[in-house]
Amino acid sequence: MSTIPYASDPSSLEIDVQTFAHRLDTGLEGVQLIDVREPWELERAAIAGFANLPLSAFAEWETQIYQHFDVDTETIVMCHHGIRSAQMCQWLRQQGFTQVKNLVGGIDAYAIKVDASTPRY
């Protein structure tokens, strides 16, 4: 995956786990959720509502991204710690997605700061 420069305000490209949890509690109507972790990772810990697009299977789903996701709808991307999801966010922006946010710290930060019942690995 290639990279693109961040916008002048990186905070507009990120969402912290506490803000995400609040939005999750109040309803995420009209928000697309993408988890780029591997299927075995989802078996260990997951948050309902995320579509799984493992980065390792990029070649299998990259040409179909527009069939499943709208480029102008807010999209939150998650992984284990926030590194792979940041890569995915950059790629989505290159594809024309306009409202992409990386879940900072990923599911691990979510487990630590929001929901201790979420398994850590």
Instruction: Show which residues are catalytic.
Output: 79
What distance in Å separates the CA atoms of residue 62 and residue 18, rounded to the nearest whole number? 30
59 Cβ partners below 8 Å, 6+ apart? none
Q: Tell me 101's DSSP state.
A: E
